[in-house]
Amino acid sequence: MLLRAELFPPHLVHGFSTRLGGVSQGRFASMNLGGRWGDTPEAVAENLRLLALAGGYDPEALVRVRQVHGSEIVAAHDVGPETEADAIWQHIDHSPAGPPVLGTMTADCVPVLLVDRQGTVAAAIHSGWRGTVADIAGRAARVLTEQGGVRASDLFAAIGPCIEVEAFEVGEEVAAQFEDRFVSRQGRPKPHVDLVACVHAQLEAAGLPQNQIERVGGCTHACPDRYFSYRRDGAGIGQQLSFVSLAQRRPASS
């Protein structure tokens, strides 16, 4: 049901969901965390409860935004019901009542979680191909250093389950927006883009040491038994949820 980053402190609330372990049926089976494609609200609510139980956090603490495949980065305390953004960050001092849990929804796009060594700042990032072109992951890391007051060398990043280069075929108009080193054309009728490598390079360019960037999980498109994939199955499928917080994990039995 839940994948965690080995680089992150084990007591820290964080994780990447899979499609396993929930109650949804049919094309949403079984751990669908997204309510936009037609799953029953009751099933989604129960899945969110089950994920929070496994993740060790209060489901009421989860903060999400309306993702628009852009590059907006918003502080958690500024999020409202209609906030549009693709990355959320928090500083421990922003949450005197307790740190929120930052969440991002994906079904092929790249989820990225950031934390610092001291547990001062965190971020959850949705990096679709447009957000990747806009360097949203690198920009979010810089927000944590410039506004959060931490050093880039103290940041850890986890890149979660997403579509990988073998499956991410694009048109030339999309490929042209990426550096050549992230585009594969050899032996292919159309170009393929390596979003994982691009996001990894952007995080390094923002100052994160290479050995503090971890890839968690596999290709969403290639693993239908484990992940939802928009590219593979089209609209009307489920979504994974990636989350991070500066809160301490509660025991799973609580």
pLDDT digits (tens, 9 = 90+) for 163-192: 999 999 999 999 999 999 999 998 899 999
| DSSP-based three-state secondary structure for 73 | strand
Question: What pTM value is reported for the model?
Answer: 0.97
- Domains of the chain are 62-246 (3.60.140.10)
Reported as a pLDDT band with limits 50, 70 and 90, residue 252 is low
Whether pLDDT at 253 is above 60? no
- Residue 182: predicted pLDDT: 98
Tokens at residue 58, please?
């209060």
Are 56 and 245 in contact by the 8 Å Cβ rule? The answer is no
